[in-house]
Structure 1
Amino acid sequence: MTHDQSYIVIQPHVSEFPAPLALKKGDQVWVGALYDGPEGWPDWYLCSAPGQEPGYVPGQILDRHADGSATMLEDFTNRELTVLEGEELRGQRQLNGWLWAVRIPDGETGWVPLDNIRANRPDLKSRKS
């Protein structure tokens, strides 16, 4: 899902991957185990690419082959965004329990778990009749 919406961080998130994958459309990766953590994030596969640390990639952007390899269907990085409670984000894409976001105002980008954010909706003001 692609969108452009404002979010507020309701729970901090610290990236556990200091060396994220940086993959281009057409790159070949080796596909490993499906993520099976307690968070229940579906369809993330541990992938490896030459010269990079292994990292998780969403299954939707992998063209998987019988030999255990896959071709990237689009550019992708698994860079996570470290965020603090109260920070404002601009969401750009939701995928498998995560949001690709831009932190306001510094413009840093990365993935943030959906459980750590909420949509930032303006308060409804009461109207006098």
Structure 2
Amino acid sequence: MNSKLLIALSLISIISIGAFAVYSFNGDLEMGRNQTTVFQWFSCFTKNTQAQCDDLKDELEKTLCFAAAHAIGDFTYEGSPLAIEPCQQFHKFLNQANTTDVLNTGNYYQNCYMNVTILKAAYQSYYFNNTIYYPQYIRCAGF
């Protein structure tokens, strides 16, 4: 009984946080003012890679974290057959970009990593979203 309650509360929390964040991302970001460069993003991203799903002790949380990580990879990685179109466009830009180029040129970054499909995947795990995804993909990108 205790584990069912914990699972239910976890799911409710994830859904609530996800709904709030999706609402926030859709209305409050001013993309034209973000001048984070490709170099700044990459430097921040590589410094924020310490947290991993393997750090979790609870097996359910670890499973949820890995599910979120795999979904993000499937939807965003260049060459993945499941990569969504906005992420394919971002990677085309990134492959030709200079380190001094603005990361969100053409809103490619935003359209990929702040896409509702991607955010829903990240919210599968509270730990993944708050400890891995948000610091690396949102904060490092200057949002």
Instruction: Flag whether TM exceeds 0.5 (same fold).
Output: no
Structure index of larger Rg: 1
* TM-score, scaled to structure 2: 0.25
* TM-score, scaled to structure 1: 0.26
Identify which of structures 1 and 2 has the higher relative contact order when contacts are C-alpha pairs closer than 8 Å and 6+ apart. Answer: 2
